[in-house]
Structure 1
Amino acid sequence: MDVCEVMQKAIELEVDSERFYTNAAKDSSNPLAIRTFEALAEWEVQHERLLRDVFDKAEATQSCPMLTELDAEQVDMMAEAGTIFKSALEDVQDTLAHDPTLTGAYATAMQKERNAIAFYKSQLDEAQSEAESQLYGFLLDQERGHLNLLATTEEYLNDTKYWHFKQEQWIVTG
């Protein structure tokens, strides 16, 4: 696949994920899940814009632009997770209860992220230039961060007390 073909497929993945996250946020009543899905939807829109920019530049020059030529922002997912948790917990004063209806949404969301990870990993493995390697590596890192955020918030929602215990253990043991 050339860069333009990869970008078309990647744009489809990002648009589909953004649509899913937007709907999942609307369907949820849990503040943490809502904020998680809203943040993910926003990041997927940012990725779509980036990919369209790559597509336009690649189509014009017949080569992948360097990551430094693009408006690509590296999002620190764990810092963002902290912000999401803090905001959600302020709304409910640490009384988030497990919502069994979220199980399916989280399972689907994590599968979407795994699919994106597999796609970008395969493209990274087949990259024909340093520019492609940088781009696919960047996107791969972002999708891994999304999966980590989903896993972290799902774990919290499923077992809040154990999640706090694990966080305290990490602080104690480093």
Structure 2
Amino acid sequence: MKEALEKALNFEKEGFEFYKKIAAEMQNPLAKRLFESLAEQEKEHMKKIKEIYESLDFAASSNQPATAAGIEEELKKIFFELEESRRKMPLDHLEGYKLAMEMEKKGYNMYREFTQTAASESEKKFFEALMQEEKEHLNSLDNVYRFLTDTPTWYSEEESRVWNWMV
């Protein structure tokens, strides 16, 4: 559990830094606000993870802390699978959304794996809650991305949800 919490904390920290970077590069006020909001939510996730981490007694546990190198390797798999040239280029708003959606999917999958190896029901529920947060982030990003890339279809889909009683 300790290693999973450390990975989760580092993942959320990287997410916070990633979203702050993208927000700073955005010219579109909608995009800037969305990425700033996601950064703040990642900060809240870090706070929750720290609270759980600090509440656990690892002194009596036989689990040794994960090495920094081990955690770093895991994070590299998640964050740096992108081609190096793609990671370093300035982001336009659509590329920022694509990268963010990719990151949220990877976070969701990581937390899903943690639920499968959870040692207790409370651990499982905690990671399921983080999965749900990642899913909500992905849905928000996807919604705005669809609006920006195919506005007429987005409007028709949204109207059909609101006015579905007319169908």
* TM-score with structure 2 setting the length: 0.76
Q: CA deviation at 1:62?
A: 6.0
1:4–1:59: 8 Å Cα contact kept in structure 2?
no
Q: Does 1:28 align with 2:26?
A: yes
Instruction: Provide closer, same or farther for how the CA distance between residues 160 and 58 of structure 1 changes in structure 2, counting only shifts above 3 A.
Output: same
Instruction: Provide closer, same or farther for how the CA distance between residues 61 and 140 of structure 1 changes in structure 2, counting only shifts above 3 A.
Output: farther
Unpaired runs of 5+ residues, structure 2, are 62-90
Q: Structure 1, residues 61-88: CA drift from partner, whole Å, max 9, x if none?
A: 869xxxxxxxxxxxxxxxxxxxxxxxxx
Q: Distance in 1 between matches of 2:161 and 2:93?
A: 27
Partner residue of 2:163? 172
Partner residue of 2:64? none
Q: Does 1:146 align with 2:137?
A: yes
Q: Distance in 2 between matches of 1:60 and 1:124?
A: 20
Q: Distance in 1 between matches of 2:141 and 2:122?
A: 29
Instruction: Provide closer, same or farther for how the CA distance between residues 62 and 6 of structure 1 changes in structure 2, counting only shifts above 3 A.
Output: farther
Select 1:42's aligned residue among 37, 40, 43. 40
- SS at 2:118 equivalent: coil
Query: What amino acid sits opposite 2:155 in the alignment?
Result: H
Query: What amino acid sits opposite 1:132 in the alignment?
Result: E
Superposition pairs for residues 151-162 of structure 1, below 5 Å? 151-162=142-153
Instruction: Provide closer, same or farther for how the CA distance between residues 62 and 158 of structure 1 changes in structure 2, counting only shifts above 3 A.
Output: farther
Q: CA deviation at 1:160?
A: 2.2
Select 1:119's aligned residue among 85, 99, 110. 110
Query: What amino acid sits opposite 1:141 in the alignment?
Result: Q
Unpaired runs of 5+ residues, structure 1, are 64-99
Q: How many residues align?
A: 136
Structure 1 stretches of at least 4 aligned residues deviating more than 3 Å after TM superposition: 59-63
* TM-score with structure 1 setting the length: 0.73
1:14–1:48: 8 Å Cα contact kept in structure 2?
yes
**Aligned Cα root-mean-square deviation (Å):** 1.8
- SS at 2:119 equivalent: coil
Q: Distance in 1 between matches of 2:98 and 2:159?
A: 27
